[in-house]
Structures are given as structure tokens and as C-alpha cells.
């Protein structure tokens, strides 16, 4: 069985500050991990994915995430927040199948 | 726009009516997934289909819900005799291959409201 836990349903940062969104997972098989972003009334857009190889993954819009097997984590970071980053972010995984298992999401608020 | 197309974007039904949600996958994609997003929750997997086949329906409610992906035309998620608890956003995603490392591409969803 797989599960994804996102710590903090709401995160607020100042514009220009570091963004850190936390994701921990549980999987009985080596997982493939994804971060998606959802803007209001829209679908999910892929930010980045980890499958195999390099554990530091770079994505779109300046985001990156690091896969840490020993900590079962896949935290999302961005060095400097922009107002346009305000959205909901979902961590997800697949493992041993095709269906995505999602965390409950983190709403990111960016303040001036 | 060659992305995943869902229609309608918004659907209002009265209790007891039927709801039909449509999804056209991205060009070249033969795998379709349906997810449901309830308020304040993440997306929950419902069903995974390939052309004319249901591959995994482990997330589908046992009653009133069905899905199909015919040889021609869009995938359809059908909800019979809708109840208030069916109110949610329903998202369709598609992918080109069977490898689970292939990212799924999502449509903008259908927001179903039950009166």
C-alpha cells in the first residue's frame, strides 16, 4: 500500500523568501514521485517528477525537489517566492501500478 | 490546444438524475484515468481505462458509477441517481504508455453540483 503525507495544509511566505513544502511517503515498492500545482478552477500541472537516477530534480518555474530515501521524503523548494506561485501544491506517487496516490495538498500563499 | 479536454466544465443536476462527464485524452494517449476531488481533500483515484478495457476500477464506488472508453470517442464517467455526496470536481488524466513513471496530464475538470 502507498500513502503520501503533506505536512501543513497552508503555508504562507513573503515574496522573495524561500518556499519549502513538505512531502513524506510510504511505499512497499520503489516509488515514482511527482509534484503537481493546481491554480483555481484549473486542472493539475506537472511541476517535476522523480523516477530513477539523480535525487535532486529540477522542475518548471524554478522549483526543485530532493528524493531522500532514508527519510522517505520528497520536499519541494524554491529559493525565492513570486506572487504567481500562489496556488495549491500536490505531492503524489505511483508504485507498482499506474494510479496516482495524492497527498491532501498544501495551499501556498505569497504575501508582499 | 492538444491537451486533455473535459466537458462540461460545470454540471448541475438534481438528486436522482444522471450525470455524464466526458474526457478526450491528449493526442496519442491511449490511457485514461479518472480522479475525484472532494472539498478540502486531495484527488482520489477512481478508475483506469485503456481503449475498450477497464484496467483498474478499485477506486470506483460499487453502485451508481460506471466508466467506459470506447474505441471511438471520448471516455465517459457516468453517475446514475446522483446524491448530494457526489458533488465534487472530477478530473480526467491521460498518459501515452503503461509505464508508471510516465506523468499523467490532467484536464481542467468537471465541477458537479447536486441540488
A26-85 per-position pLDDT tens digit? 998 888 999 999 998 888 999 999 988 888 999 999 999 999 999 999 999 999 999 999
What is residue B99's predicted lDDT score, i.e. its pLDDT?
Answer: 63
* Pairwise CB contact (< 8 Å): A100 & B105: no
pLDDT over threshold 90, residue A1: no
Q: What is the DSSP track for A90-104? A: EEEEE-SSS--EE--
Burial (CB < 10 A; 0-12, 13-18, 19+), residue B98, is: exposed
Say whether pLDDT at B97 is over 90.
no
Using a CB-CB cut-off of 8 Å, the residues of chain B touching A40 are none
Using a pLDDT cut of 90, give the percent of chain B over it: 78
d(CA A57, CA B88): 32
Contact state of B106 with A98 under an 8 Å Cβ cutoff: no
For residue B86, the cross-strand partners are none
In B, which residues are within 8 Å of A44 by CB distance?
A: 43, 91, 93, 106
Q: Is the C-alpha dihedral spanning B31, A3, A30, A28 positive or negative?
A: negative
B31 touches chain A (CB under 8 A): yes
Distance, in angstroms, between A16 CA and closest chain B CA?
Answer: 28
Residue A96 has pLDDT above 80, yes or no: no
Do A86 and A19 form a contact (C-beta atoms < 8 A)?
Answer: no
Using a CB-CB distance cutoff of 8 angstroms, which residues of chain B are in contact with residue A34?
Answer: 103
Cell of A38: 493546481
Residues 6+ apart with CB under 8 A from B64: B79, B80, B81, B82
Amino acid at each position: 500500500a502507498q500513502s503520501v503525507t503533506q505536512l501543513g495544509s497552508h503555508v504562507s511566505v513573503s515574496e522573495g523568501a524561500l518556499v519549502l513544502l513538505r512531502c513524506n511517503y510510504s511505499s512497499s515498492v520503489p516509488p515514482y514521485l511527482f509534484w503537481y500545482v493546481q491554480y483555481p478552477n484549473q486542472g493539475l500541472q506537472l511541476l517535476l517528477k522523480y523516477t530513477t537516477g539523480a535525487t535532486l530534480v529540477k522542475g518548471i518555474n524554478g522549483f526543485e525537489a530532493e528524493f531522500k530515501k532514508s527519510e522517505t521524503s520528497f520536499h519541494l523548494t524554491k529559493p525565492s517566492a513570486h506572487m504567481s506561485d500562489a496556488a495549491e501544491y500536490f505531492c503524489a506517487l505511483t508504485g507498482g501500478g499506474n494510479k496516482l496516490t495524492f497527498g491532501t495538498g498544501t495551499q501556498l500563499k505569497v504575501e508582499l | 490546444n492538444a491537451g486533455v479536454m473535459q466537458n462540461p466544465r460545470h454540471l448541475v443536476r438534481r438528486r436522482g438524475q444522471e450525470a455524464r462527464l466526458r474526457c478526450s485524452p491528449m493526442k496519442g494517449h491511449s490511457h485514461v484515468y479518472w480522479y475525484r476531488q472532494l472539498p478540502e481533500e486531495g484527488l482520489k483515484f477512481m478508475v483506469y481505462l485503456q481503449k475498450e478495457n477497464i484496467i483498474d476500477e478499485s477506486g470506483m464506488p460499487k453502485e451508481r458509477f460506471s466508466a467506459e472508453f470506447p474505441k471511438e470517442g471520448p471516455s465517459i464517467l457516468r453517475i446514475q441517481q446522483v446524491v448530494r455526496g457526489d458533488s465534487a470536481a472530477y478530473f480526467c488524466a491521460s498518459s501515452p504508455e503503461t509505464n508508471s513513471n510516465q506523468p499523467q496530464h490532467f484536464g481542467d475538470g468537471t465541477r458537479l453540483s447536486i441540488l
